[in-house]
Amino acid sequence: MTVPEQASSVGAERRERLKALREKALKRKVLARHLSDGFNGRWSGRQWVQAGLFATLGMMVAAVVPGFSQSTASVRAHEPRQSLALALPPLTLARLKGETGDSWQLVRVNRGQTLGSVFKDMDIPKSTMSQILEQPGAREALMRMKPGTELGFDIPVNGSLRTFRYDQDEGHRVELSIAGDKVTDKKVIARQSQVRTVVLSGKVGKSLFRSARKVGLTPANINTLTDDIFKYDIDFNEDVGTDDRFSVVVEQTWREGELISTGPILAATFTSDGKLHTGFRFDRGGKPEYFTGDGRPLKKSFIRMPIPYARLTSGFGTRRHPVLGSIRMHAGVDYAAGTGTPIMAAGDARVQFVGWKGGYGRAVILDHGRGYTTLYGHMSNFSKIKPGQRVPQGTVIGYVGSSGMATGPHLHYEFRVNGVHRNPLSITMPPPEPLSGMALAQFRQQTAVALGRIRQVENIIYADAGPAPAAAPAVAAAAVAKTVAVAKTKGKKKKTSRG
Ligand SMILES: [Zn+2]
């Protein structure tokens, strides 16, 4: 057998399986033989039923992942999960006709269109519109319609408007019965929406962004994937190949066959060069964070540079002071950047000081706990922060400037451990605290389910590429910060400068 033949037969086999899965999802009836034949013994038909998996087009595979959700896991577990086929048809005119005779017309509001112009197009008298707008809540819903809003008109042949239907809000649809131009009855119908936890998977191809968008990830999801979850493991500019693949677990909200919203990434895998990388979202102390499979935070406790893409102009140590001209200790590092460049909190912190501080000019001091503090000097301005306030890592705390004793716009950045100045460029940063105890147990339970579902989906769509690699065995969090030696000042006491 030649290689292309083999590839195409495997491809055909895969297509066959996907087809069978789709039939199953749509019709809830499929020949068991269909699945078990040529299935390499990987998954039986029964397992598929249990997994509640269904497939749609090409690379996009969605799976109901029961019991995996972030903070509300315990509450949700008792709710019956809806599992609908993914590709429901949108609410069509034909369907509306089927429901209430054959006189419904559905209008989708265009950009710039007003209720008045829609009614005029439909040849409905102004007096009827006024009556409708008198209904409690109607004005609010109908006078600020977004483009794409759907309005329903039930107009019998040779008759006038009999029923008018509109969406009061996200969760409620209103049907008004109309006789002459009077509203005679009002029905409020709950709009059903379903939350489905799904696996979305794809290959990187030419562009990760395009592929990820194609399978249904939002731009925010993609940012999370590249900037929060895999930032430290994968260089997305260099390391990624077209055959690398990603899979994520997200919650999708569907209503009437339409995807309304996609939630944050709950779990993600990235397989690059046969190596599996994983990341999981988990609420710790009411705050969602991403963790490795063994419960270590993916986020580092400190970012190295508090401003993006800045040029280091002065390192840590003794130097001739640029303003004073004398030899002094430079107790921080300087980054040249334009006035107004945002400065970010290097780690999660409590604001200790905001204000003018001698030669530092406008300065902010952040307390990161465990004896770590950072100082940011020469700012042109502060963002809206107050002492005592908690700021997460990456929060903009102020802007680059040249206030205080500075020759030009730059950020003077100091890193202190137990009050002692350390070089932020060379110090071993403390590892963030891993999950432990109950939280770790709960986390393990969730991640096992999510990872299992991802692997099921990958085994199907990438069957010809070999099974998904197993997750690396959990490694105990071994990284321990090197004991930070207290810096001793040699000889004469040095003066520190604020250059
Ligand atoms: Zn400096």
Distance, C-alpha 418 to centroid of its chain: 36
Kindly give the distance from the C-alpha atom of residue 332 to the centroid of ligand 1, in angstroms, as a whole number: 6
Kindly give the distance from the C-alpha atom of residue 419 to the centroid of ligand 1, in angstroms, as a whole number: 17
Considering 138, 169, 188, which residue would you say is the last residue of a domain? 188
Cβ–Cβ contacts within 10 Å for residue 125, how many?
Answer: 14
Kindly give the distance from the C-alpha atom of residue 366 to the centroid of ligand 1, in angstroms, as a whole number: 17
The larger pLDDT score, comparing residue 284 to residue 403, is at 403
Kindly give the distance from the C-alpha atom of residue 449 to the centroid of ligand 1, in angstroms, as a whole number: 50
Tens-place pLDDT, residues 314-331? 888 877 777 777 777 889
Asked if the structure places residue 404 within a domain, the reply is yes
Asked if the structure places residue 477 within a domain, the reply is no
- Indicate which CATH number applies to the domain containing 354: 2.70.70.10
Considering 188, 207, 226, which residue would you say is the last residue of a domain? 188
Rounded average pLDDT over 32-42: 28
Kindly give the distance from the C-alpha atom of residue 261 to the centroid of ligand 1, in angstroms, as a whole number: 46
Number of domains in the chain: 3
Asked if the structure places residue 425 within a domain, the reply is yes
Kindly give the distance from the C-alpha atom of residue 318 to the centroid of ligand 1, in angstroms, as a whole number: 11
One domain for residues 226 and 244 = yes
Asked if the structure places residue 51 within a domain, the reply is yes
In our burial notation (b when 16+ CB lie closer than 10 A, e otherwise), range 434-470 reads bbeeebeeebbebbebbbebbbbbbebbbbeeeebee
Per-residue confidence at 102, pLDDT binned at 50, 70, 90?
A: low
Per-residue confidence at 238, pLDDT binned at 50, 70, 90?
A: confident
Kindly give the distance from the C-alpha atom of residue 171 to the centroid of ligand 1, in angstroms, as a whole number: 56
Kindly give the distance from the C-alpha atom of residue 412 to the centroid of ligand 1, in angstroms, as a whole number: 4
Q: Containing H/E element for 166?
A: strand 163-169
Kindly give the distance from the C-alpha atom of residue 485 to the centroid of ligand 1, in angstroms, as a whole number: 23
One domain for residues 102 and 74 = no
Which of the given ranges, 36-40, 75-79, 235-239, 299-303, has the highest pLDDT on average? 299-303
Kindly give the distance from the C-alpha atom of residue 497 to the centroid of ligand 1, in angstroms, as a whole number: 8
One domain for residues 137 and 157 = yes
Segment 39-42 long-range contacts (CB within 8 Å, at least 24 positions apart): 40/463, 42/459, 42/463, 42/467
pLDDT of residue 464: 64
Kindly give the distance from the C-alpha atom of residue 413 to the centroid of ligand 1, in angstroms, as a whole number: 7
Tens-place pLDDT, residues 52-74? 333 332 344 444 444 444 333 33
Contact 472, 276 (CB under 8 A): yes
Kindly give the distance from the C-alpha atom of residue 483 to the centroid of ligand 1, in angstroms, as a whole number: 26
CA distances from 298 to 172, 225, 292, 302, 329 (A): 40, 11, 6, 12, 35
Asked if the structure places residue 380 within a domain, the reply is yes
pLDDT of residue 71: 35
Q: Is the pLDDT of residue 212 over 90?
A: yes
Contact 429, 481 (CB under 8 A): yes
Q: Of the candidates 243, 237, 244, 256, which has an alpha carbon nearest to the alpha carbon of residue 167? A: 256
Considering 168, 188, 208, which residue would you say is the last residue of a domain? 188
One domain for residues 59 and 208 = yes
Q: In the chain, pLDDT over 90 holds for what percent of residues?
A: 38
pLDDT of residue 484: 24
One domain for residues 65 and 210 = yes
- Indicate which CATH number applies to the domain containing 16: 3.10.450.350
Which residues are registered as beta bridge partners of 312? 335
* Three-class secondary structure of residue 107 per DSSP: strand
Contact 161, 104 (CB under 8 A): no
* Three-class secondary structure of residue 298 per DSSP: coil
One domain for residues 205 and 220 = yes
Asked if the structure places residue 467 within a domain, the reply is no
Radius of gyration from C-alpha coordinates of the chain: 30
Mind giving me the DSSP string for 443-478? HHHHHHHHHHHHHHHHHHHTGGG-PPPPPPPP----
> How many Å apart are CA 166 and CA 294, to the nearest integer?
49
Tens-place pLDDT, residues 106-145? 888 888 888 999 999 888 999 999 999 999 889 988 988 8
Kindly give the distance from the C-alpha atom of residue 380 to the centroid of ligand 1, in angstroms, as a whole number: 15
Kindly give the distance from the C-alpha atom of residue 406 to the centroid of ligand 1, in angstroms, as a whole number: 8
One domain for residues 76 and 204 = yes
Domain that holds residue 41: 3-81+194-291
One domain for residues 110 and 132 = yes
Q: Is the pLDDT of residue 392 over 70?
A: yes
DSSP code at position 482? P
The larger pLDDT score, comparing residue 313 to residue 495, is at 313
Kindly give the distance from the C-alpha atom of residue 232 to the centroid of ligand 1, in angstroms, as a whole number: 28
One domain for residues 209 and 60 = yes
> How many Å apart are CA 254 and CA 274, to the nearest integer?
34
Kindly give the distance from the C-alpha atom of residue 336 to the centroid of ligand 1, in angstroms, as a whole number: 10
Kindly give the distance from the C-alpha atom of residue 304 to the centroid of ligand 1, in angstroms, as a whole number: 16
Q: Of the candidates 293, 195, 196, 198, which has an alpha carbon nearest to the alpha carbon of residue 249? A: 198
One domain for residues 114 and 160 = yes
CA angle 258/260/261 to nearest 5° reads 140
Contact 410, 402 (CB under 8 A): yes
Which pTM value belongs to this model?
0.57
Q: Is the pLDDT of residue 480 over 70?
A: no
Asked if the structure places residue 437 within a domain, the reply is no
Kindly give the distance from the C-alpha atom of residue 403 to the centroid of ligand 1, in angstroms, as a whole number: 12
The larger pLDDT score, comparing residue 192 to residue 102, is at 192
One domain for residues 224 and 239 = yes
Kindly give the distance from the C-alpha atom of residue 423 to the centroid of ligand 1, in angstroms, as a whole number: 12
Which residues are registered as beta bridge partners of 398? 343, 382
> How many Å apart are CA 158 and CA 152, to the nearest integer?
18
Asked if the structure places residue 474 within a domain, the reply is no
Average pLDDT, the chain: 76
One domain for residues 168 and 214 = no
Segment 490-496 long-range contacts (CB within 8 Å, at least 24 positions apart): 494/318, 494/328, 494/329, 495/328, 495/329, 496/328, 496/329, 496/330, 496/331, 496/421
